[in-house]
Structure 1
Amino acid sequence: MTSYSYRQSSSTSSFGGMGGGSMRFGAGGAFRAPSIHGGSGGRGVSVSSARFVSSSSGGYGGGYGGALATSDGLLAGNEKLTMQNLNDRLASYLEKVRALEEANGDLEVKIRDWYQKQGPGPARDYSHYFKTIEDLRDQILGATIENSKIVLQIDNARLAADDFRTKFETEQALRMSVEADINGLRRVLDELTLARTDLEMQIEGLKEELAYLKKNHEEEMSVLKGQVGGQVSVEVDSAPGIDLAKILSDMRSQYEVIAEKNRKDAEAWFISQTEELNREVAGHTEQLQISKTEVTDLRRTLQGLEIELQSQLSMKAALEGTLAETEARFGAQLAQIQALISGIEAQLSDVRADTERQNQEYQHLMDIKTRLEQEIATYRNLLEGQDAYFNDLSLAKAL
């Protein structure tokens, strides 16, 4: 509680407002200088005044402007009211300073509590978030490695499929070539069969012709024998006649030789053609059998390649599905982590902005406190200087 002590004397004084106001004392006789002293925080303030005699005037600068006017007599005016006003204003300033100090203390406590709550403490322990983030990073790294392995497997499967496709196309072209050769051999076989049939027909025709010639020859021989047997031998004295039997015998011998030669030639040609045809048929049959075996092997290889290609395509589709599912799952987890990080960063930005705002408010209040302390110090120095001046006047009057 602020206490005031006041001693009345015959003097007048007036004080202006703080920060550029004025203070005026008028003295016309003996006047005792007033003295003011205050306790800490505005408590225990006492104001006293004394009588003094002054015939001079002075001005004091600082946060206040003051002037002293003297006259030939004692100070006139309502000194009690002036000093009461002075004490009230001083008490008001001290009360304001005390309220600001209390507000400053409360603000410091609040700032300290806020820093304790918002600072790195148990309430804001992000270690479990860091552990979770580290685990998720490890999982993402493992998934990335696994994804790379799967992509590598897919590439290997694609290369193997391309290789198998190339082999399949090569084998298919070879198969088509073999089938074309087989078709050509079949046409050759058909031609050989037709040629063999034609030769057989020619042989039959030659056999029939040979039989006809034999039959005709036998008929002619029979006719000639009949004619020779029925002739009458007539002897005439003429030139020797022609030996028809010998001629016929020679003709028969020539025909037989010619027929035998033709028969042998026909048989030899037929045998040679048959052997050649048999050799060709045997060769083509063997080649056809080899081609059939190759075609069977190629079909078996083709079926195996098609089965392997289908299995590789199925494995590729399964790996692509697994890859898409893995990317979707880890993409969702990464989005959640990113949202969590964004939320934490937003909270951190709010905390920083709030801290900056409170620091600015605190600095503003500290500036106000400093200015008030400077004004109080100036006011105190002014009052102490006034008291010393009044004491000097009292001593001068006493002397």
Structure 2
Amino acid sequence: MKSQSAEFISGQKAGIHKPVTTEKTYAYSVSGGAGGHGIKISTASYGTRVGSSFGRGYDSGTTGILPIGNEKTTMQHLNDRLASYLETVRNLEKANAQLEIKIREYIDSKGPLKGSDYSKYFVTIEDLRSKIFTKIQGNAQLAICLDNARLASDDFRVKMEYEMSMHKTVEADVARLRKALDDTNVIRLHLENDIESLKEELITLKKNHETDLADLRAQITQAGVHVDVDAPKGQDLARVMEEMREKYEKIALKNQEELKAWHESQITEVQVQVTESTTALKEATSLLSETRRQYQGLDIELQSALSLKASLEATLRDIEMRYNKEVEKYNIVILRLQEELSQIRADIQQNGREYENLLNIKVKLEAEIAEYRRLLDGG
């Protein structure tokens, strides 16, 4: 069986070098250290300078040639290298165990095995999310209340405008009725003046009639005396005068009755108009008072709605300010937690890579041990 050679390059903790070179075609090379970094196995052609970290006092650049026939010397060198190799393996296993303990402790403190820490962060995040959602719901409710107050304010404004128009209409009606009442009073005064004038005219007519009648009587008396002396037909003239007097009295009485009836009808009509105007004025005054009362009530409600709206807007601004501050604070906490989580993941990945390197070192060392055993068994 062909003999093989191995080259070991110094690692982190193994600083001893021992060169071994064979005259065969290929040689295996293993480099490593107790720190567990940089282990590799390679092949080298004949005559390549190889070194081992398991020698005792030899320089890695020195080349030693072992003859093929000197098996005792070769076995001695192999035994020395194997002893140094086994010592290095024990050191590496011890360092590997220490690293495994450190990795386990680190994983127990910060690694994925500590799920409660992440769940604590998740619980905090869920709590923050629920608070944010509650704030959003509160803002939505305040916005709804603000919209309702705005709609109520608009309704009150529409009602107030309608009541104002009704108020103006009622005031116009009252002014019109007052003007009608004034016109009616003027007409009544004119009618009263006409009645007084007619009464005076009636009195004048009566006086004139009495004067005329007295004159006629005087004339009749004089004529009767003359007739009694000269003409016996004076009785017929007296009868004619009496008939004329009765006729004029009937005409005067009829005119007086007609004038009285017309006067009474005018007075009744004026009184009816005055009564109607007074009733309408009272109704308009009552309606105006009711409209003023409703206007005052609506104005009070409008002021209350405006005050409520202003209060809700101030509350909304305060809540939005506090909400923004809380969100900013929660964002800072989330960013810090994300940074910690990223750092933990990076540490876990680094530990995983180191652990993988140690496993690779172990596998390569086991392969090297198996190769030496095969060489020993073959020798």
**TM-score (structure 1 length as normaliser):** 0.66
Indicate yes or no: 2:317 matched with 1:324: yes
Q: In structure 1, give the amino acid aligned to 2:111.
A: G
Indicate yes or no: 2:288 matched with 1:278: no
Residue of structure 1 in register with 2:179 after alignment = 187
Residue of structure 2 in register with 1:57 after alignment = none
Comparing both chains, which one has the higher relative contact order based on Cα–Cα distances under 8 Å and sequence gaps of 6 or more? 1
Indicate how the Cα distance of structure 1 residues 234 and 282 shifts in structure 2: closer, same or farther if over 3 A, else same: closer
**How far apart, CA to CA, are the structure 1 residues paired with 2:326 and 2:358?**
48
Deviation per CA, 1:318-341: give whole Å up to 9, x if none. 123223322332342233223312
Q: In structure 2, give the amino acid aligned to 1:292.
A: T
Q: How big is the shift at 1:369? A: 3.4
Indicate how the Cα distance of structure 1 residues 268 and 85 shifts in structure 2: closer, same or farther if over 3 A, else same: same
SS in 2 for 1:348: helix
SS in 1 for 2:182: helix
Give the conservation status (yes or no) of the 8 Å contact 1:23–1:67.
no
Unaligned runs of 5+ in 1: 1-12, 25-40, 44-65, 70-74, 387-399
1:205-220 matches, cutoff 5 A: 205-220=197-212
SS in 2 for 1:18: strand
Residue of structure 2 in register with 1:313 after alignment = 306
Give the conservation status (yes or no) of the 8 Å contact 2:142–2:316.
yes
Residue of structure 2 in register with 1:297 after alignment = 290
Indicate how the Cα distance of structure 1 residues 108 and 121 shifts in structure 2: closer, same or farther if over 3 A, else same: closer
Q: How big is the shift at 1:120? A: 6.7
Indicate how the Cα distance of structure 1 residues 23 and 381 shifts in structure 2: closer, same or farther if over 3 A, else same: farther
**How far apart, CA to CA, are the structure 1 residues paired with 2:228 and 2:312?**
124
Indicate yes or no: 2:350 matched with 1:357: yes
Q: Of the two, which has the highest radius of gyration?
A: 1
Residue of structure 2 in register with 1:18 after alignment = 28
Residue of structure 1 in register with 2:281 after alignment = 288
**How far apart, CA to CA, are the structure 2 residues paired with 1:22 and 1:157?**
94
Give the conservation status (yes or no) of the 8 Å contact 1:150–1:323.
yes
**How far apart, CA to CA, are the structure 1 residues paired with 2:314 and 2:372?**
86
The range that moved more, 237-246 or 333-342, is 237-246
Q: How big is the shift at 1:154? A: 4.2
Q: In structure 2, give the amino acid aligned to 1:330.
A: Y
**How far apart, CA to CA, are the structure 1 residues paired with 2:265 and 2:109?**
119
Q: How big is the shift at 1:17? A: 4.3
Indicate how the Cα distance of structure 1 residues 339 and 182 shifts in structure 2: closer, same or farther if over 3 A, else same: same
**How far apart, CA to CA, are the structure 2 residues paired with 1:234 and 1:214?**
30
Q: How big is the shift at 1:237? A: 9.5
Q: In structure 1, give the amino acid aligned to 2:270.
A: L
Q: How big is the shift at 1:113? A: 2.6
Deviation per CA, 1:214-236: give whole Å up to 9, x if none. 33333333443444444572689
**How far apart, CA to CA, are the structure 2 residues paired with 1:272 and 1:100?**
141
**How far apart, CA to CA, are the structure 1 residues paired with 2:363 and 2:182?**
126
Give the alignment partner of residue 336 of structure 1, picking from 329, 333, 348. Answer: 329
Q: How big is the shift at 1:292? A: 1.0
Q: How big is the shift at 1:289? A: 1.1
SS in 1 for 2:28: coil
Deviation per CA, 1:205-264: give whole Å up to 9, x if none. 222322332333333334434444445726899996895444443333322222221121
Indicate how the Cα distance of structure 1 residues 358 and 235 shifts in structure 2: closer, same or farther if over 3 A, else same: closer
Give the conservation status (yes or no) of the 8 Å contact 2:149–2:309.
yes
The range that moved more, 128-137 or 214-223, is 128-137
Indicate how the Cα distance of structure 1 residues 288 and 230 shifts in structure 2: closer, same or farther if over 3 A, else same: same
Give the conservation status (yes or no) of the 8 Å contact 2:227–2:233.
no
Aligned residues: 331
Give the alignment partner of residue 244 of structure 2, picking from 239, 246, 251. Answer: 251
Indicate how the Cα distance of structure 1 residues 385 and 120 shifts in structure 2: closer, same or farther if over 3 A, else same: closer
**How far apart, CA to CA, are the structure 2 residues paired with 1:279 and 1:364?**
122
Indicate how the Cα distance of structure 1 residues 284 and 296 shifts in structure 2: closer, same or farther if over 3 A, else same: same
Q: How big is the shift at 1:96? A: 5.7
Indicate yes or no: 2:213 matched with 1:203: no
Residue of structure 1 in register with 2:339 after alignment = 346
Deviation per CA, 1:150-180: give whole Å up to 9, x if none. 4554455455445544544444444333333
**How far apart, CA to CA, are the structure 1 residues paired with 2:91 and 2:319?**
65
C-alpha RMSD of the superposition: 4.4
**TM-score (structure 2 length as normaliser):** 0.69
**How far apart, CA to CA, are the structure 2 residues paired with 1:14 and 1:89?**
18
Q: How big is the shift at 1:274? A: 0.6
Q: In structure 1, give the amino acid aligned to 2:28.
A: M
Q: How big is the shift at 1:23? A: 8.0
Indicate how the Cα distance of structure 1 residues 67 and 127 shifts in structure 2: closer, same or farther if over 3 A, else same: closer
Q: How big is the shift at 1:314? A: 1.1
Identical-pair percentage: 44
Indicate how the Cα distance of structure 1 residues 384 and 17 shifts in structure 2: closer, same or farther if over 3 A, else same: same
Q: In structure 1, give the amino acid aligned to 2:109.
A: K
Q: How big is the shift at 1:265? A: 1.0
Give the conservation status (yes or no) of the 8 Å contact 1:14–1:83.
no
SS in 2 for 1:233: helix
Residue of structure 2 in register with 1:119 after alignment = 111
**How far apart, CA to CA, are the structure 1 residues paired with 2:242 and 2:160?**
78
